[in-house]
Each structure stands twice: as C-alpha cells, then as structure tokens.
Amino acid sequence: MKLRKLGNNLEVSALGLGCMGMTAVYGPASDKQEMIKLIRDAHDRGITLFDTAEAYGPFANEELVGEALQPIRERVVIATKFGFDIDQQTGARGAGTNSRPEHIKLVVENMLRRLRTDRIDLLYQHRVDPAVPIEDVAGAVKDLIAEGKVKHFGLSEAGVQTIRRAHAVQPVTAVQSEYSLFWRGPEAELLPVLEELGIGFVPFSPLGAGFLTGKIDENTQFDATDFRNYVPRFSPEARKANLALVEVVKAVAARKSATPAQVALAWLLAQKPWIVPIPGTTKLHRLEENLGAVTLDLTAMDLAEIAAEVSKVKVQGERLPEAVLKMTGL
C-alpha cells in the first residue's frame, strides 16, 4: 500500500475506509460481525485510516469501529467527528450543532470509551457551529491534544476563512469535504488554501455516493431508508442526465482495463499528493476493487481527456440539502 501524509506528520494509507454506511444511511445496518471482519480485512490489505463519527448511529458506528480495531489499535489511525447536538446518554439528536468547549470535552470522553482507545488520532469538527467561535473550538481541541487524548485536529465542510482562523489557534491536519468528479466544488477556493497552509484533504463520497461506479441509473430503486432518496442529484431525472458523466469515466476505464470506480478514485489521487479519499463499502470485493485505484496510473493524457469531457457535462441537482444533513449527520 502506498502511503500519503496529511498535514505535517500524519502518515496514512493512500486510501482510507469510510465506515459510515456499515451501520445506516445507505439502508439498513449490515451484520455487525461481517463488518468487523471487513474492517480487519481492510487493514490486512494495507488500509490504515478508518473514518467514523458519533453522529453515525448515533454511536453505533464508533462502537463497531472500536471493537473491530481494538486488536490492531497500534497499527491504525482512527478518525472521528464531534459537533452535532446529541444527548450523550440517550443518543437523541437535538436541533442542530453543538461545539461548546465543555460539550466537546464530554463527547471525547465518551468517544474514547466507544472506540476502546486512550486517544483519537484525528478529531474533526463535523460541522461548523455558528453559535461558537471557531477559535474556541480549536482551543478546546488544543487542550485535548495537550492532555494526550487527541493527536490531530480536523475540520469537515468548513469554509476557507474558518479554516484559516482555526489553523491560527491549533494547526489543522486535515479537512474533510465532499469531492469527486460528481462534485468539484473544492477546486475553486478550498484546495488552494489547503495547499498554502499545508493541510491534507480527505474527500468523502469520492465515488459520488456510488454513482460513479456505473452501477446506478435512472431506474435504480434505493432502500426506503437510503438517504439518496432525499437528494435532488439522485432524483430519477437528474440521474438520467448525469449518466453522461459516468460515460466519460467508463470510456477511460475500458481503455485502461479498469473499472469506473477505480478511474474515479485514481483521478482524485492524481489531483494532489496530499489527498486521501475514504470510499465506503460493505462488501469485500468492492473494497478490493477500490484498492486497485492506488496502482492505476492515469497519464497526463488521460487526465486531460477526462477534464475536457467532464467540462461538457453540467451535473444536475443539488448536492446535500440541509434536510439530508440533519437526517444523516453526513
């Protein structure tokens, strides 16, 4: 497995594993023992970065990841996220965000217990809290780092000015936001600022929530509990229009004897050496397919072709409406 560096000194596998979908969001939770085995199989195949959050469940995903990684804790990097208003006793969701310093510190104590560890390698603020200055958030995490309970600070879906302000208080190791050929918003402002500040980037939904695999079309039926039912970009009409994007990826995949998923992930890896995508899956054969992207070489000509063809496609539909964020904690 090739390695990449996030920030100044957090070394991880070139691909991580997003564990969110193992307990919900894309449909019913998968079998716990099967997911524990899959997480351990991922490590056996070279993955060292595992991504979770208190909001996934809530709590169920962290508990799963903690149990799965306990025997190999010293050989992996665990990333998790705080920031939603979640009752720490019952798991009941409040109305929005909560990044008050005293709440962060309480949440981290519970995270350590759920994750069966004495420290969190990478702790993200899941969503910016408009009621709490980011300097106070960064200060709280700085305290936790000083106590040895957290190793690195991250932000998720934060704007560039927020990132700058946080970074001035406590250096930010990584920012996590959606990025793929299906959503290229970070290219305009975010990526240049991360490069300037020396911050790593961890794209979630690097396969466009499955769309870039080529396995989804306008006739695909999602489970009733699947969040994609509520995303405008996944309406049947939008999917039909957006298939033009998938055709671009399929054409390159056919020429490279690869799969569309491998091309989509290899394209991300080719953008910057400090980008570490975290595709999620509940199936071993998909995990192995995704890992093939690490050794797939996209030439300058391949990348130029993708850029030219993708520029002709206007993706239809909104990305993640606020209602979906509140429902899933993505």
Tell me the catalytic residues.
56
Using CB atoms within 10 Å of the CB of residue 311, give its burial: 0 to 12 exposed, 13 to 18 middle, 19+ buried.
exposed
CB 172 within 8 Å of CB 193? no
User: Burial, 142: exposed, middle or buried (Cβ in 10 Å; 0-12, 13-18, 19+)?
Assistant: middle
The amino acid that residue 63 corresponds to is: E
Point out which residues pair with 125 in neighbouring strands: 82, 155
Gyration radius of the chain over CA positions: 19
In contact, 204 and 268? CB cutoff 8 Å: no
Phi and psi dihedrals of 202, rounded to 5?
-120, 95
Secondary structure (DSSP) of 113-176: HHTTSS-EEEEEESS--TTS-HHHHHHHHHHHHHTTSEEEEEEES--HHHHHHHHHHS-EEEEE
